[in-house]
């Protein structure tokens, strides 16, 4: 029997769910291998009572999100975190530092009281429940998503790369941004996207999270030699990694 899959979104712009629809060439084949019982972005039905795999996009920003996640964890045998918001807190987690109410007031003014009822400090979903597989990135890389989904369906071990991005970037024969004195977060960011932005001519913004094997001390030292301060590195990195403890220094 095909695995029953649900796709749900918490606090995010649903960009990663949109990205799933961008797998045009393979989407029908994928759908042939699973029983997609709920897809929040694309269907108007209700979340079913039973399912096997939950793909969760978005960060946790309300009490309701916490309740949803707990239900998901009780029901699903496999939980996949989809995208930066779910994986690291992503953009919503920018509100995790400072005064939360002030942030809401800044955006919504007098109406702040009426939006996001039961709001809590933003966090990644693994702060609430155990997560079995992660597809990092903003947005997700469709190829990586398919690989992770197939591993999840087959019950294979999760394999999120731990190294920074420079190796794959070298295989694309990109000229290193640091040679031009420009800051690129690839040197500390988790690889796995194929250094897509850099190959397209933009420095890495760190959307895939800080690589567990990144050597931050050495990165800070070498950046200093190039006239780039640690503060600039951290400021850039926090866009997607506000909650990253490694950057708390």
Q: Interface with another protein includes 167 (CB under 8 A)?
A: yes
Phi and psi, residue 81, nearest 5°: -85, 125
Q: Interface with another protein includes 246 (CB under 8 A)?
A: no
Q: Which of 164, 192, 206, 209 binds another protein (CB under 8 A)?
A: 164
Tell which positions 24-63 bind another protein, by CB under 8 A.
25-27, 29-30, 32-33
**Residues across the chain:** 249
Q: Which of 146, 220, 230, 246 binds another protein (CB under 8 A)?
A: 146
Determine contact, residues 146/26, Cβ cutoff 8 Å.
Answer: yes
Nearest residue (CB) to another protein, 18 versus 167:
167
∠ CA(59), CA(61), CA(161), 5° rounding?
Answer: 20
Classify 138 as helix, strand or coil. coil
Determine contact, residues 166/194, Cβ cutoff 8 Å.
Answer: no
The span of 55-63, 103-111, 170-178, 229-237 binding another protein (CB under 8 A) equals 170-178
The span of 10-18, 76-84, 88-96, 161-169 binding another protein (CB under 8 A) equals 161-169
Determine contact, residues 169/195, Cβ cutoff 8 Å.
Answer: yes
Instruction: Please count the residues of this chain forming the interface with another protein, following the rule CB under 8 A.
Output: 36
Nearest-angstrom CA–CA distance, 94 and 36: 32
Q: Which of 23, 47, 230, 239 binds another protein (CB under 8 A)?
A: 23
Q: Interface with another protein includes 70 (CB under 8 A)?
A: no
Beta-bridged to residue 172, according to DSSP, are: none
Nearest residue (CB) to another protein, 107 versus 222:
222
Classify 122 as helix, strand or coil. strand
What is the closest distance, in whole angstroms, from the C-beta atom of residue 183 to another protein in the complex?
Answer: 12
Closest CA to 193 of 181, 183, 182, 205: 205
Nearest-angstrom CA–CA distance, 59 and 84: 8
Count the neighbouring beta carbons within 10 Å of the beta carbon of residue 72: 20
Nearest residue (CB) to another protein, 24 versus 248:
24
The position carrying tokens 């031009």 is 180
Tell which positions 192-231 bind another protein, by CB under 8 A.
213-215, 217-219, 221-222
Residues at the contact surface with another protein, assessed by CB under 8 A? 23, 25-27, 29-30, 32-33, 146-147, 150, 153-154, 162-171, 173, 175-176, 178, 187, 213-215, 217-219, 221-222
């Amino acid at each position: 029997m095909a695995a029953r899959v649900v796709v749900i979104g918490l606090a995010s712009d649903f960009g990663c769910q949109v990205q799933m629809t961008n797998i045009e060439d393979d989407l029908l084949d994928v759908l042939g291998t699973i029983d997609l019982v709920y897809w929040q972005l694309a269907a108007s039905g209700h979340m079913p009572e039973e399912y096997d795999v939950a793909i969760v996009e978005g960060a946790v920003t309300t009490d309701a999100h916490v309740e949803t996640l707990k239900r998901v964890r009780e029901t699903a045998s496999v939980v996949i975190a989809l995208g930066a918001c779910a994986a690291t807190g992503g953009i919503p987690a920018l509100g995790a530092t400072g005064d939360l109410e002030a942030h809401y007031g800044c955006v919504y003014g007098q109406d702040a009281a009426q939006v996001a009822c039961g709001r809590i400090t933003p966090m990644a979903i693994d702060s609430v429940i155990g997560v079995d597989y992660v597809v990092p990135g903003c947005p997700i890389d469709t190829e990586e998503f398919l690989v992770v989904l197939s591993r999840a369906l087959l019950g294979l071990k999760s394999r999120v790369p731990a190294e920074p991005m420079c190796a794959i970037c070298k295989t694309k024969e990109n000229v290193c941004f640091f040679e031009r004195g420009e800051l690129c977060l690839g040197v500390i960011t988790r690889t796995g996207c194929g250094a897509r932005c850099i190959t397209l001519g933009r420095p890495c913004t760190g959307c895939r999270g800080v690589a567990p094997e990144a050597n931050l001390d050495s990165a800070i030292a070498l950046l200093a030699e190039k006239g780039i301060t640690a503060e600039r590195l951290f400021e850039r990195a926090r866009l997607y990694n506000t909650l990253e403890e490694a950057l708390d220094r």
